[in-house]
Amino acid sequence: MASNDAASPVMMIKGACPHDCPDTCALEVHVKDGVALKVTGSSLHAPTAGVLCTKVARYTERTYHPNRLLHPLRRVGKKGEGRFERISWEDAIQTIARRLAPMAAQNPEQILPYSYAGTMGLVQGESMSMRFFHTLGASLLDRTICTSAGTAGHEITLGSRIGIDMELTDEAKLIIFWGSNAITSSVHFWARAQQAKRLGAKLIAIDPYRSLTAEKCHTHIALLPGTDSALALGLMHVLIRDNLIDRDYVERHTLGFESLRERARLYDPGKVAALCGITAAEIESLAHLYGTTRPALIRANYGMQRVRGGGMATRNIACLPALVGAFRDAAGGILLSTGGNFNVDDDALKRPDLLAGRRPRTINMSTIGHALLAKDAPINALIVYNSNPVAVAPDSTRVTRGFAREDLFTVVLEHFQTDTADYADMVLPATTQLEHLDVVKPYGHYYIMANNPAIAPLGEAKPNSEIFRLLAHAMGFADPCFSDSDETIAQAAVSTDWDFNAVRAAGWKRVGLPKRTARFADGGFDTPSGKVEFYSSRAQGLGLDPLPDYIAPQEDTRSQTATRFPLAMISPPARNFLNSSFVNVQSLRASEGEPWLDIHPDDAAARGVVAGNYVRVFNDRGSLELRARVTDRARLGVVVGLSIWWRKLARDGKNANELTSSDTLTDMGRAPTFYDCLVQVEAL
Ligand SMILES: Nc1nc2c(c(=O)[nH]1)N[C@H]1C(S)=C(S)[C@@H](COP(=O)(O)OP(=O)(O)OC[C@H]3O[C@@H](n4cnc5c(=O)[nH]c(N)nc54)[C@H](O)[C@@H]3O)O[C@H]1N2
Ligand SMILES: Nc1nc2c(c(=O)[nH]1)N[C@H]1C(S)=C(S)[C@@H](COP(=O)(O)OP(=O)(O)OC[C@H]3O[C@@H](n4cnc5c(=O)[nH]c(N)nc54)[C@H](O)[C@@H]3O)O[C@H]1N2
Ligand code: SF4
Ligand SMILES: [Mo]
């Protein structure tokens, strides 16, 4: 054992934040005598700039949390009840292998992995796990829960997501936060936007909610949820009508301008204002600002694509920088994601060749409730890691009924006894970022990041990679890839471009073009035509309109459904949580208080809702109780429940997904429509 000698040195271990956040910060883990004392942000890594968000600044509180899962557990109570007994790893692995083997022999598609971005590490994400499931021939998972609509809209318009370098943000003179609450979800980008503001930039927020970000911008356009595609068309209308476009750029580097002009002509500001629930003057003035300011940057995030027309919304927004030639400036253009810069060898990580010619079915994670309740070709085993579907998937009624099936064999790899772990047959304790090795591909900056283990695993926790290694060996899988160490996997992931050991020693490595390059100044888009595709044959091939269009929300405030459920509910991320992670960290939960519903004073008055009292929020899918916060942060007709709470930590054991739908998916990308959700509210 290490001594407690005060003279023993504090070691500084280089890590990378694993969370699903664009900033992927460089961590410094301060370790003394094998204990992590604190985690700080590196000042040498430009995007991190020495600062962490409040959540990860408390990473040690999460890691050493008294409720960390430290041993394998077997269920002794009913499904969902959360009663378990401790077992050995040997017993756990053998039991799982014994349960999976006959299913694998009979029909491996009965087995489904369910995972998302609890860690964005490539090693603890999809490496050993997918090798394991590919060897089995298990059902594949369509990982659609977050970005797939926006990704698809971006793809058909601009190609892969090579967003502008966030380190140039302070040079922009106009920054439009479009469906992005950066103070919450990308605080390092926000810090740079603040600097731009100090240097004279105008900041605009397009968001139905006066978020922490919107309130600090010069202008806030509070449109109705799901109407962004119309707003973008309205801006195009004015830009073209008033000749504010960059004709040279349009001629050289875009496809289909004449058809776009015809389409945009249909969306005059009066019509668009009515669709979006804003004024024509707001559209006119934003178009003029955008058409006359350089460099102009759109910071789009994923908030506007969680509605039926989410793909189209992203597509229309992505057309704007080409129209005004904003791509000519290194600090201009659009930043949705920088993921397209990184050349990761996915096949080496996941080894799809192990499928050996089989083509298993694919199950959409966003409709997991439907999938678990299906009678035909049922799913009989579910292995969950890096995700908390019982809390985060839409349409909780179906999801919980599916997870409650007594005949479903469920294994959950977790740090904590989450809502999902409560439904497990076996819970396996996983290591956190401080305890394992990884390499992280970011989506908000240009650095590939390495994570060194800083402390030994707590209790009997094991890395995901090791758990799947053990399972593979117990199942008798012979491929040598199941003996790969985590270092070998990390190197395989990045082998084409980098030496992992060098990245590991440095902590990070910048990739992509040299700084200050305006990547698309001379076109070179990775679309079929090499141009920005205002007209997209690929979209047409997918059965979609080849041109930008307006797709109304499924649950439109002007629809028949709205007579019974007149309020549009959105449930975007709370600042002190990361999706459903950190909700169980006491200090962070205390900062959020409790599950609130923000409601406009007029909507509250019309329903006799009093600030601070509980209300019932409901639709045909379900009902939940929240505490009312009467505030004009929520625009008229929109209610906001910041999320994602653990169901079991809420007073009625439910969260916002009790009300969200899994019947409607997005126009592109098969994603959920979390923010396309009509409700009614009544005082309790
Ligand atoms: N603190 C914190 N940070 C996070 C997360 C977290 O939970 N907490 N989650 C992480 C993850 S997984 C993701 S995907 C990103 C998400 O981060 P963002 O992409 O920024 O997305 P959201 O926070 O979902 O939404 C941003 C804003 O979009 C607004 N919005 C909702 N509907 C609409 C609409 O129809 N149109 C427009 N224009 N705006 C709309 C919301 O009110 C919200 O203020 O953040 C990541 N970072
Ligand atoms: N109503 C509503 N629902 C939403 C959203 C919303 O805005 N509103 N946002 C959606 C979005 S954008 C997303 S991305 C999803 C997010 O959904 P998820 O990806 O499920 O994210 P988390 O809720 O953070 O759950 C991740 C879990 O992984 C665990 N974990 C972390 N690291 C490891 C590890 O190394 N090993 C193992 N075994 N486990 C680990 C954490 O403890 C945590 O419980 O939620 C979606 N759901
Ligand atoms: S969650 Fe985001 S802002 Fe916070 S430390 Fe991680 S990468 Fe940085
Ligand atoms: Mo997400």
**Residue given tokens 């609890």 in the structure block:** 118
In this structure, which CATH number among 3.20.20.370, 1.20.910.10, 3.40.50.460, 3.30.200.210 belongs to the domain 4-63?
Answer: 3.30.200.210
Q: Count CA atoms closer than 13 A to 611's CA, side-chain side.
A: 7
pLDDT at 2: 45
3-state secondary structure at position 439: strand
- Nearest atom in ligand 3 to the alpha carbon of residue 17 is 6
Contact 679, 569 (CB under 8 A): yes
pLDDT at 1: 41
Phi, psi of 374 (to 5 degrees): -65, 140
* Tens digit of each residue's pLDDT (9 = 90 or more) over 656-669: 999 999 999 999 99
Ligand number nearest CA of 581 is 2
* Dist. CA 402–CA 640, nearest whole Å: 27
207 lines ligand 1 (CB under 6 A): yes
CATH topology of domain 73-145+356-510: Rossmann fold (3.40.50)
Ligand number nearest CA of 463 is 2
Residue nearest to atom 4 of ligand 3 (CA): 53
Q: Which residues of the chain fall short of a pLDDT of 70?
A: 1-6
Q: How far is the CA of 462 from the centre of ligand 4 (A)?
A: 25
Ligand number nearest CA of 672 is 2
- In our burial notation (b when 16+ CB lie closer than 10 A, e otherwise), range 328-341 reads bbbbbbbbbbbbbb
Q: How far is the CA of 575 from the centre of ligand 3 (A)?
A: 11
16 lines ligand 3 (CB under 6 A): no
440 lines ligand 3 (CB under 6 A): no
pLDDT at 95: 98
List strand residue ranges (DSSP E) for 365-451, in order. Answer: 381-385, 409-414, 426-429, 438-440, 447-451
Q: Give the CATH H-level superfamily of domain 149-336.
A: Dimethylsulfoxide Reductase, domain 2 (3.40.228.10)
Burial class (CB in 10 A: 0-12, 13-18, 19+), 581: buried
* Tens digit of each residue's pLDDT (9 = 90 or more) over 296-330: 999 999 999 999 999 999 999 999 999 999 999 99
CA nearest to 283, candidates 258, 331, 337, 320: 320
449 lines ligand 3 (CB under 6 A): no
- Nearest atom in ligand 1 to the alpha carbon of residue 206 is 38
Which residues of the chain does CATH 2.40.40.20 include?
560-683
Q: How far is the CA of 433 from the centre of ligand 3 (A)?
A: 13
Q: How far is the CA of 300 from the centre of ligand 3 (A)?
A: 18
> In 409-499, where does DSSP find H-type helix?
464-474, 486-494
570 lines ligand 1 (CB under 6 A): yes
pLDDT at 6: 61
**Edge-to-edge strand list for the sheet holding 11-16:** 11-16, 26-32, 35-41
* Dist. CA 450–CA 506, nearest whole Å: 8
* Dist. CA 662–CA 363, nearest whole Å: 13
Residue nearest to atom 21 of ligand 1 (CA): 303
Tell me what the pLDDT averaged over the chain comes to: 97
Contact 349, 492 (CB under 8 A): yes
Q: How far is the CA of 26 from the centre of ligand 3 (A)?
A: 9
Helix (H) or strand (E) holding 334: strand 333-335
Q: How far is the CA of 324 from the centre of ligand 1 (A)?
A: 26
For the CA atoms of 396, 401, 405, 411, the dihedral, rounded to the nearest 10 degrees, stands at 10
* Tens digit of each residue's pLDDT (9 = 90 or more) over 480-514: 999 999 999 999 998 777 899 999 999 999 998 88
Pocket of ligand 2 (CB under 6 A): 20, 116-119, 124, 145-146, 385-388, 392, 413-416, 418, 430, 464, 571-573, 578-581, 643-644, 656-657, 660, 674
CA nearest to 642, candidates 597, 589, 593, 587: 597
In this structure, which CATH number among 3.60.15.10, 3.40.190.10, 2.40.40.20, 3.40.50.10860 belongs to the domain 560-683?
Answer: 2.40.40.20
Ligand number nearest CA of 56 is 3
CA distances from 490 to 182, 204, 317, 351, 467 (A): 30, 40, 36, 14, 17
